[in-house]
Structure 1
Amino acid sequence: MPRTTSAVDFGFLRKIIAAHSKNILDPSRDYVFEARLAGIVRRRGMKGLGELVEYLRSTRDPHLESAVADAMTINETSFFRDGRPFELLRTDLLPKLIEARGGVRALRFWSAACSTGQEPYSLAILLREHFPSLVNWHVRIEGTDICEDVVRRAQAGRFQRIDVNRGLPARYLVRYFKQDGDEWVVGPPVRSLCNFQQANLCRLPLPFRAKFDVIFLRNVMLYFGPETRRTLMSAVHRLLAPDGLLILGSTEQPADPSLWYATLAGGTCYFRPRVTV
């Protein structure tokens, strides 16, 4: 009979997750452990969550600890999620950036915590659809996520019907995807703009050196503690071009307001970096 999982066990699991991802889970959500970790328990041939906890207590297994942290990561996403930032980019922000970058003919975007890739692919569709003049520019959209499995899925660019039905206009589906059985596959014009890699936002240095023109860091920091937020936002500040744009989730604010100034436009808010000395 599987061992009953105790409050102490859940506390132990929360510590593992915090150590690997800085994700602070509230004890009120302990009930989600059973469902989220069921796949790991099954693949390991264990009888229940209690046996997994016993193994983790007795054996130092960084790979398994990382898998547990990945499994507890919330990967909620959709195409053109909260459409207001994309609309503001289309109508106002991107035209100005394109004009400013006319000399170098290059643009760099970063979708941090990109999950299965809908956000980077949405950006790519936006660029292909509304800014044909960029066809001969060097445009790169980097997508990163802590979870290895979702990064692989983003790289594959294959989506189920339920995925494309969430936020993706039918005209974009027909124009930029190809149906393959029950799945829809991102076509080369969009895929060629995007690159995906695994990265932990809480482990510095971040895997980039060149600065970005636009950074999407949405619905991520609400899971982090104050110190982790400050450290991450400082690193993001260093990676953003002086006239670049930072887009956070609708309820999020930078940890250190002295590094940023906010602009409210088009029903959404974006941030620009303050120059530091």
Structure 2
Amino acid sequence: MTEAEFDALRAFLKTKSGLALSPDKRYLVESRLSSVCTRFKLDSLSHLVREIRAGRSMALEKATIEAMTTNETFFFRDKAPFDLFQDVLLPKYLKERASTRRLRIWCAAASTGQEPYSLAMLLKEAAPRMPGWHIEIVASDISTEVLERAKAGFYNQFEVQRGLPIRLLVKYFTQVGDQWQIAPEIRSMVDYRYLNLIEDFNRLGQFDIVYCRNVLIYFDANLKADVLRRIANVMAPDGSLLLGASETVLGVTDALTLDPAHRGLYSKNASSAAPKMFAVGGR
């Protein structure tokens, strides 16, 4: 693969997925796309780039994007965002939404489902405090492959040992051969949807809580600002956004404000809280 071909591939990935690869990531491209070449019977990465430039195969384009997407995740990842949900956000919205008894949550980069299922288990544990409540968890990702895995809810021994308390493993999972499957009652709490964050997501409706963790780090500054602005647009006026530990809105957008008491938690600026119109199916 020549430098020109590598640059063309970088441009394709940025245009189609927002992924901004630096010039020193050539090794990553070569390691991840070799299996795509094998799958599509292409004799080299140069051949792959030529096919993408020709635009003859949507399946090849999709496979290339999915191969370059990082899907690192695990149950209760980083712990603090889930403690924050359980100890701060859930009590807050149980009080503030008491009249409607409705709560909508969006996991904007759900990968194989550990994040939304972690929230679903916390909500299931809190169910005795929430009689009559309607809870909706929308989980989205750009990769249809990981979404299918998430919907099935199967995890290997390594995956259930990463962050998942043994009490919840015993309570909400069933062993199937050498895999563990999460209970249907938890799977049914999550609505998985394909979504590319560089595209419009206004149709999802309005959310009280948004988890968008460890995905903005792959975008350039302009796209980060755009995505954060559009996330603010789909947040309720008193909505909450949680970002990854290495992510921030500071210096990126003024649509959101850091909560000084809680690291990684952001609220909507008053100037961004004007009512929005949403498609049918949202709130």
Q: TM-score if structure 1 supplies the norm length?
A: 0.92
The equivalent of 1:262 in structure 2 is: 258
How many pairs align? 271
Kept in 2, the 8 Å contact 1:14–1:25? The answer is: yes
Which residue of the partner structure matches residue 176 of structure 1? 172
Contact 2:109 2:212 (8 Å CA) reproduced = yes
**Partner residue of 2:64 out of 68, 72, 82:** 68
What corresponds to 1:214 in structure 2? Answer: 209
CA shift digits 1:223-246 (9 cap, x unpaired): 112221222111111111111110
Q: Deviations over 1:87-119 (max 9, x none)?
A: 122112211111111111111100001111110
Aligned residue type for 2:121 = I
> How far 1:59 moved relative to its partner?
4.4
Structure 1 contact 24–225 (Cα < 8 Å) conserved: yes
Matched, 1:149 2:145: yes
| Cα drift, residue 39 of structure 1 | 2.4
Distance 2:55 2:252 in 1: 39
Which of 224, 245, 267 is equivalent to 1:229? 224
Task: Give the drift of 1:188.
Answer: 2.1
> TM-score normalised to the size of structure 2?
0.90
Structure 2 residue corresponding to 1:274, chosen from 249, 269, 278: 269
Q: Which amino acid aligns with 2:223?
A: T
- Residue 32 (structure 1) shift: 1.3
Kindly indicate whether residue 238 of structure 2 is the aligned counterpart of residue 243 of structure 1. Answer: yes
Provide the C-alpha distance between the structure 2 equivalents of 1:180 and 1:135, rounded to a whole number of angstroms: 32
1:6-65, Cα deviation, whole Å (9 max, x unpaired): 222221211111111011011211101222112221111222323222333344433322
Q: What SS does the corresponding residue of 1:264 show, helix, strand or coil? A: coil
CA contact (8 A) 1:176 1:186 kept: yes
Please, which runs of 5 or more residues in structure 1 have no aligned partner? Answer: none
Q: Which residue of 1 aligns with 2:281?
A: none
- RMSD of aligned residue pairs (Cα, Å): 1.7
Q: Distance in 1 between matches of 2:264 and 2:136?
A: 24
CA distance in 1, matches of 2:147, 2:189: 16
Amino acid at match of 2:238: D
Query: Is the contact between residue 56 and residue 65 of structure 1 (CA under 8 Å) also seen in structure 2?
Result: yes
Kindly provide the CA deviation profile for residues 165-223 of structure 1, in whole angstroms up to 9, marking residues without a partner as x: 111111111101111111111102211210101100001144412x1111001111111
Moved more, 142-151 or 181-190: 181-190
Residues 119-166 of structure 1 show CA distances to partners (whole Å, capped at 9, x for unaligned) of 000000111123432253111111000111111111111111111111
CA 1:260 to 1:55, structure 2 compared with 1: closer, same or farther past 3 Å?
closer
Aligned-partner Cα distance in 2 for 1:124–1:225:
32
Equivalent AA in structure 2 for residue 61 of structure 1: S
| Percentage of identical aligned residues | 38
Of 200-209 and 160-169, deviating more is 200-209
1:126 maps to 122
Pair 59,99 (structure 1): closer, same or farther in 2 beyond 3 Å: closer
